[in-house]
């Protein structure tokens, strides 16, 4: 026992065995090595640099360094008028442009206090949910690559291509849409839109099951993610986590339901929560499972919207856009549920100018990533890759 | 007086009334350390008049059973140039507790001003306060890791100040285009 007490001090590792015995490994004290991961590292999903202090293969501490993609979006906002900001919001989270545009437009519309036609609201929700699926497909596909599974990536990108084609068809761009405008849409959807989206939904439904079989039930994938990067619910809330990250920790919180906007209150969908049968609540696998379930829920939402979307003859999607967008003096904080979590805009208007006095973007993965230092403590380097992948960062949004 | 209150109450939406109820609890506890409630329809808020009490107020807001503001949605820095002040705006709400939201403003002097850090109360504030410092230059007393976050560490000036002039060169590279 004395030996054990001493061993716990330092330079040793105690491995407890099942049958009440312990194995003590002595003289494990190594020199700490600083390992810089990124900014050009495939698993950092962009230009993130992690300065890892490592003890052998164990990470003592990983400090994220950001800003490689910083364009000072908020400074641009002070120079550009309200409608002109919309394209910039696309470039923040370039994997979910529609969702970010929608969050920004909701914020300005709250300041303007204007009514949006129901058809516009339904189209917005459809494109936002399509974009959510596309974004989750990238998240899941690249997560597979991070952990050595290449095939799911190809499956995901094949299906994502269908969504991008649809969105390109209605907006003219594949990723940076500038489609949702303050008070309306840049164009109404083409005539066959409903039919083709319905076709996609029918096509994609079996694919979600296929993807589950390919990845979520894959023994190797589960071994790499289950029980890794555990985050308890209360700590996740204190860190301000949102979206699939927060739900992965078992917190039943979705802005589409808890702070409803647009037509979401009319729609019937389930808030995706991890099933303790498949994963441990709060681990990397739980976050992955939440994303997988969310894609299915998004399909349900799209189906309902297609049913309920009113058909209007000679509909002008720009009719409800105010001629001059100059909100009265005030401030607003409005947000939306993005694929990566809560994206919010804090906008201050002085009532005189057509440009905001202040426009702050609350980025979801900026906040989610801030827990990296705590999550990485004591993890192995390969597990660190699994953890970063599960956060699903888009550096364009982190750095803005 | 009572009539005036009632009228104001009638105009307020349900969400603003909830924020008002939360504010009343804070006002009761801290008195003049917090300013009057501003029933802004899109973002109801109050201001912390005595910034030195900010951490106490924050802890009270997070831990009081009636308030439970355990989730900080956003913390934004703001430059109030006319009043010669800088400030932060915190959007708070409760997950799993009462369904109310409120925003809190804390201000400090524009030159060399400082605000107590609440990163010990909400971890979210840690990076957000670093960002506010990076962009506006106010300091956060007691912040565990007070560095720039988005700009390089040797950048001069604070980009989001209204009177910001960008530096001519950075490591020999011409900056303004």
The pLDDT tens digits of the residues spanning A57-86 come to: 888 888 888 888 888 888 888 888 888 899
Q: Give me the residue from A237, A335, A360 closest to B95, CB to CB.
A: A237
Q: What percent of chain B has pLDDT over 70?
A: 94
Whether the complex's predicted ipTM is more than 0.85 is answered with yes
> Any idea what the Cα angle at residue A387 is, between residues A381 and A393, rounded to 5°?
125
CB-CB under 8 Å, B124 with A367: yes
Residue A162 confidence (pLDDT): 92
Interval B12-21: pLDDT, tens: 788 888 888 8
Instruction: Check if B150 contacts A (Cβ < 8 Å).
Output: yes
Q: Is 50 exceeded by the pLDDT of residue B3?
A: no
Q: Is 90 exceeded by the pLDDT of residue A133?
A: yes
Q: Are B92 and B58 in contact (CB under 8 A)?
A: no
Which DSSP state fits B67?
T
Residue A68 confidence (pLDDT): 87
CB-CB under 8 Å, B72 with A67: no
Q: Give the least confident one: A8-17, A212-221, B110-119.
A: A8-17
What DSSP line would sit under A169-213, residue for residue?
HHHS-SS----EETTEESSPPPTTHHHHHHHHHHHHHHHHHHHII
Which residues in chain B have Cβ-Cβ distances shorter than 8 Å to A234?
A: 70
Q: How many helices (H) and strands (E) does chain B have?
A: 4, 9
Mean pLDDT (chain A) is 86
Q: Is 80 exceeded by the pLDDT of residue A42?
A: no
Q: Give the least confident one: A19-33, A198-212, A343-357, B35-49.
A: A19-33
Which among B42, B83, B155, B175 is the top mutation candidate for probing chain A, defined by the most A β-carbons within 10 Å of its own β-carbon?
B42
pTM score, whole prediction:
0.86
Which among B58, B126, B128, B150 is the top mutation candidate for probing chain A, defined by the most A β-carbons within 10 Å of its own β-carbon?
B150
Average pLDDT over residues B113-142: 90
> Any idea what the Cα angle at residue A24 is, between residues A19 and A26, rounded to 5°?
170
Taking alpha carbons only, the member of A365, A372, A395 closest to residue A51 is A372
Q: Kindly give the pairing relationship between strand A13-16 and strand B114-116.
A: unpaired
Which DSSP state fits B91?
E
Instruction: Check if B96 contacts A (Cβ < 8 Å).
Output: yes
Q: Is 80 exceeded by the pLDDT of residue B9?
A: no
Q: What percent of chain A has pLDDT over 90?
A: 20
Which among A360, A366, A371 is the top mutation candidate for probing chain B, defined by the most B β-carbons within 10 Å of its own β-carbon?
A360
Residue for token pair 């804070």: B26
Q: How many residues does chain B have?
A: 177
Q: Give me the residue from B78, B124, B152 closest to A67, CB to CB.
A: B152
Model confidence band, residue B4 (pLDDT cutoffs 50, 70, 90)? very low
Q: Give me the residue from B40, B122, B151 closest to A330, CB to CB.
A: B40
CB-CB under 8 Å, B76 with A238: no
d(CA A340, CA A132): 9
Q: Is 60 exceeded by the pLDDT of residue B2?
A: no
Residue A24 confidence (pLDDT): 74
Q: Are B104 and B94 in contact (CB under 8 A)?
A: no
CB-CB under 8 Å, B71 with A240: yes
- What class, spelled out in words, does domain B2-174 have in CATH? alpha beta
| Token pair recorded at residue B176 | 């303004």
> Any idea what the Cα angle at residue B29 is, between residues B28 and B33, rounded to 5°?
95
d(CA A92, CA A77): 13
Q: Give me the residue from A251, A334, A370 closest to B127, CB to CB.
A: A370
Q: Are B124 and B147 in contact (CB under 8 A)?
A: no
* Relative orientation angle of helices A193-211 and A284-308, to the nearest 10 degrees: 160
Model confidence band, residue A9 (pLDDT cutoffs 50, 70, 90)? low
Residue A201 confidence (pLDDT): 93
**Domain locations in chain B as residue ranges:** 2-174
| Residue limits of CATH 1.10.645.10 in chain A | 73-399
Model confidence band, residue A2 (pLDDT cutoffs 50, 70, 90)? low
Average pLDDT over residues A238-267: 89
Q: How many CB atoms lie within 10 A of CB B109?
A: 12
Model confidence band, residue B128 (pLDDT cutoffs 50, 70, 90)? very high
* Superfamily per CATH, domain A73-399: Cytochrome-c3 Hydrogenase, chain B (1.10.645.10)
Q: Kindly give the pairing relationship between strand B114-116 and strand B139-141.
A: parallel
Average pLDDT over residues A174-180: 89
Interval A356-375: pLDDT, tens: 888 999 988 899 988 888 88
């Amino acid at each position: 026992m004395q030996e054990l007490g001493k061993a716990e001090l330092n330079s040793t590792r105690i491995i407890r065995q099942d049958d009440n015995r312990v194995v003590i490994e002595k003289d494990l004290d190594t020199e700490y090595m600083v390992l810089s991961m990124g900014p050009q590292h495939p698993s950092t999903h962009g230009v993130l640099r992690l300065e890892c202090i490592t003890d052998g293969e164990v990470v003592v501490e990983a400090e994220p360094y950001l800003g490689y993609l910083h364009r000072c979006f908020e400074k641009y906002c002070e120079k550009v008028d309200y409608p002109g900001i919309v394209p910039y919001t696309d470039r923040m989270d370039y994997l979910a442009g529609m969702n970010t545009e929608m969050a920004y437009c909701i914020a300005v519309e709250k300041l303007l206090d204007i009514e949006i036609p129901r058809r516009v609201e339904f189209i917005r929700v459809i494109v936002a949910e399509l974009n959510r699926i596309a974004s989750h497909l990238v998240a899941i596909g690249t997560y597979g690559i991070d952990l050595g599974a290449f095939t799911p990536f190809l499956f995901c990108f094949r299906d994502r291509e269908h969504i991008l084609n649809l969105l390109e068809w209605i907006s003219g761009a594949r990723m940076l849409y500038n489609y949702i405008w303050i008070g309306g849409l840049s164009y109404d959807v083409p005539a066959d839109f409903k039919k083709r989206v319905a076709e996609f939904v029918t096509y994609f439904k079996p694919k979600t099951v296929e993807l589950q079989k390919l990845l979520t039930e894959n023994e190797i994938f589960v071994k790499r993610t289950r029980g890794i990067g555990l985050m308890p619910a209360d700590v996740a809330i204190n860190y301000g986590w949102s979206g699939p990250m927060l739900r992965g920790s078992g917190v039943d919180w979705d802005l589409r339901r808890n702070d409803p906007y647009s037509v979401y209150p009319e729609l019937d969908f389930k808030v995706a929560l991890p099933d303790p049968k498949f994963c441990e609540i709060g681990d990397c696998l739980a976050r992955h499972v939440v994303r997988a379930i969310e894609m299915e829920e998004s399909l349900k939402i799209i189906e309902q919207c297609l049913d309920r979307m009113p058909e209007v003859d000679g509909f002008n999607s720009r009719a409800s856009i105010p001629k001059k967008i100059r909100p009265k003096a005030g401030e607003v904080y409005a947000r939306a549920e993005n694929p990566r979590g809560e994206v919010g805009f804090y906008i201050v208007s002085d009532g005189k100018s057509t440009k905001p006095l202040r426009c702050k973007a609350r980025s979801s993965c900026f906040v989610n990533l801030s827990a990296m230092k705590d999550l990485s403590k004591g993890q192995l380097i390969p597990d660190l890759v699994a953890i970063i992948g599960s956060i699903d960062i888009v550096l364009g949004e982190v750095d803005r | 007086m009572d009539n005036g209150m009632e009228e104001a109450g009638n105009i307020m939406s349900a969400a603003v009334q909830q924020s008002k109820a939360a504010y009343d609890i804070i006002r009761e506890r801290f008195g003049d350390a917090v300013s009057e409630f501003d029933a802004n329809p899109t973002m109801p808020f109050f201001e912390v008049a005595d910034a030195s009490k900010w951490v106490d107020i924050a802890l009270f807001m997070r831990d009081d059973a009636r308030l439970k503001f355990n989730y900080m949605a956003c913390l934004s820095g703001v430059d109030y140039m006319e009043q010669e002040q800088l400030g932060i705006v915190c959007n708070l709400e409760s997950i799993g507790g009462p369904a109310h939201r409120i925003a809190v403003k804390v201000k400090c002097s524009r030159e060399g001003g400082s605000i107590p850090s609440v990163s010990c109360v909400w971890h979210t504030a840690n990076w957000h306060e670093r960002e506010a410092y990076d962009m506006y230059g106010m300091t956060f007393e007691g912040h565990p890791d007070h560095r720039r976050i988005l700009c390089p560490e040797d950048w001069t000036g604070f980009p989001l100040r209204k009177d910001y002039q960008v530096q001519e060169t950075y490591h020999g590279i011409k900056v303004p285009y």
